[in-house]
C-alpha cells in the first residue's frame, strides 16, 4: 500500500486538536504536519497512512469534530512535489520543537 495524505482545515486550535484526536483514534494514521494561519484561527492538520485508513480518519473527523471543517481532502499516492511540500511543512514544525528544547 502506498502513502496517502488526509487534510482537515478547521477554525481554532482546540477544534484542530479534537479533529486530530478523532482521526488518530479512528484509523491507523499519524500526524505528518500541521500549519497555523491567521494567528491560529485557521489550522490545517495533515495525517498520513494508507488510503483506506486516511479516508476513514478524515470522514470521521468531518462527521464528529466540534466545528465544521472549512475544507478537507484525501490525496492517494501524492505526487513527489506534494510529498516535498508536506515534508517542508513538517521540517519547520520539527525545527521549532528542537529550538524549544534548547
pLDDT tens digits, one per residue of 53-79 = 999 999 999 999 999 999 999 999 999
29 is a domain residue: yes
- Alpha-carbon distance of 51 to 94, in angstroms, equals 25
- 41, pLDDT greater than 90: no
101 is a domain residue: no
86 is a domain residue: yes
User: Which residue range(s) make up the domain with 92?
Assistant: 2-96
Number of domains in the chain: 1
33 is a domain residue: yes
102 is a domain residue: no
- Alpha-carbon distance of 23 to 7, in angstroms, equals 11
17 is a domain residue: yes
What CATH number did the domain enclosing 10 receive?
A: 3.30.70.1710
pTM, to two decimals: 0.88
23 is a domain residue: yes
Exposed, middle or buried, 100 (CB in 10 Å: 0-12/13-18/19+)? exposed
What phi-psi label fits residue 39: left (phi over 0), alpha (psi between -120 and 50 degrees) or beta? left
Average pLDDT over residues 17-42: 92
Distance of CA 6 to the CA centre of its chain: 6
Amino acid at each position: 500500500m502506498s502513502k496517502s495524505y488526509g487534510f482537515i482545515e478547521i477554525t481554532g486550535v482546540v477544534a484542530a486538536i479534537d479533529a486530530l484526536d478523532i482521526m488518530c483514534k479512528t484509523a491507523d494514521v499519524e500526524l505528518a504536519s500541521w500549519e497555523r494561519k491567521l494567528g491560529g484561527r485557521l489550522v490545517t492538520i495533515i495525517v498520513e497512512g494508507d488510503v483506506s485508513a486516511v479516508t476513514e480518519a478524515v470522514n470521521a473527523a468531518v462527521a464528529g469534530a466540534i466545528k465544521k471543517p472549512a475544507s478537507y481532502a484525501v490525496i492517494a499516492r501524492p505526487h513527489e512535489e506534494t510529498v516535498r511540500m508536506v515534508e517542508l511543512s513538517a521540517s519547520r514544525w520539527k525545527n521549532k520543537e528542537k529550538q524549544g528544547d534548547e
